[in-house]
């Protein structure tokens, strides 16, 4: 485990895995421990993964100001990491809520992005909110699965305020292409009590609004890949297509048969796609 001091004096921990050109990988959650990323399906064979632990989680220090958990302010930690690594430009892979941070990083530091992979990212910063009808349609697509009724009941319970770990685990079936033993084990990795503090500020007011963010992202000249699973319930492939349509030159990859964690569902195809784009 290595450490660096970020812009406000907070100590941030990060891991280095594998060999090759550095690829900074931002975990989701927000605030989920990056253990769940693993080696990203074997991507460590050709790239060195630089994986920070979000401030206030894991071995990273709790900041003096909780407002620094806000999504756009977390992007400043990414810039401090770039400086620590001595890189002129970052190749960046950002997953889920980490993709939200990745969007804000690219908007704030467009000249510092080498290549950007937005992996199943949250798209609300762009003003793209999934409707209830779209959400229900995505959920119903899994209705033939043997776990469907139980997992749908868990989704409803969570929506009604049940925040228990067991309810979360039951609904996680919707986030995988296959709810097998490997997926069920993976679905328990990286969650911890400290995520609540990050989440309480992550979505807070004051970050750039969608119009401002879109204007800033239009200045990004680096290659950008938006990668989503075919059976995602958020972001859906339809949402991803809307996002890519906003920015000429951005690429969209809809990965057949997989969900929110494509390196778990189909690691061979995932790593081949990543290597083609990144290299």
Give the CA diameter of the chain: 51
Nearest to 228 by CA among 138, 111, 107: 138
> What is the Rg, in whole angstroms, of the alpha carbon atoms belonging to the chain?
18
- What's the CA gap between 10 and 30, in Å, rounded? 18
pLDDT of residue 132: 87
Nearest to 176 by CA among 218, 210, 145: 145
pLDDT one digit per residue (tens) for the chain, 279 residues: 999 999 999 999 999 999 999 999 999 999 999 999 999 999 999 999 999 999 999 999 999 999 999 999 999 999 999 999 999 999 999 999 999 999 999 999 999 999 999 999 999 999 998 888 988 999 999 999 999 999 999 999 999 999 999 999 999 999 999 999 999 999 999 999 999 999 999 999 999 999 999 999 999 999 999 999 999 998 999 999 999 999 999 999 999 999 999 999 999 999 999 999 998
CB-based burial label for 249 (10 Å; 0-12, 13-18, 19+):
exposed
Domains of the chain plus CATH, in order, are: 2-130+193-278 (3.40.50.1820)
**Model pTM above 0.85:** yes
> Which pairs from 139-142 meet CB under 8 Å and 24+ separation?
139/174, 139/233, 141/231, 142/173, 142/174, 142/231
């Amino acid at each position: 485990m290595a450490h660096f001091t970020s812009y406000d004096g907070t100590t941030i921990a990060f891991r280095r895995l594998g060999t090759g050109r550095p690829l900074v990988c931002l975990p989701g959650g927000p605030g989920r421990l990056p253990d769940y990323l693993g080696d990203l399906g074997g991507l460590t064979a050709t790239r060195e993964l630089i994986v920070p632990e979000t401030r206030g989680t894991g071995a990273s220090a709790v900041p003096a100001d909780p407002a620094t958990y806000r999504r756009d302010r977390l992007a400043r930690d990414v810039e401090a990491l770039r400086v620590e690594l001595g890189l002129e430009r970052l190749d960046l892979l950002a997953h889920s809520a980490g993709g939200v941070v990745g969007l804000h990083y690219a908007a704030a530091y467009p000249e510092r992005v080498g290549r950007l992979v937005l992996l199943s990212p949250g798209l609300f910063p762009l003003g793209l909110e999934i409707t209830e009808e779209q959400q229900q349609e995505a959920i119903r697509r899994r209705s033939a699965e043997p776990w469907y009724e139980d997992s749908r009941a868990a989704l409803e319970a969570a929506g009604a305020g049940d925040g228990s770990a067991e309810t979360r685990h039951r609904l996680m079936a919707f986030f995988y292409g296959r709810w097998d033993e490997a997926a069920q084990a993976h679905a328990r990795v990286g969650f911890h009590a400290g995520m609540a503090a990050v989440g309480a500020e992550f979505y807070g007011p004051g970050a750039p609004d969608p119009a401002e963010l879109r204007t800033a992202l239009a200045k990004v000249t680096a290659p950008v890949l938006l990668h989503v699973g075919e059976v995602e319930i958020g972001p859906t492939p339809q949402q991803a297509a809307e996002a890519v349509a906003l920015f000429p030159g951005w690429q969209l990859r809809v990965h057949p048969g997989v969900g929110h964690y494509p390196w778990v569902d189909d690691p061979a195809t995932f790593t081949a796609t990543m290597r083609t784009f990144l290299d």
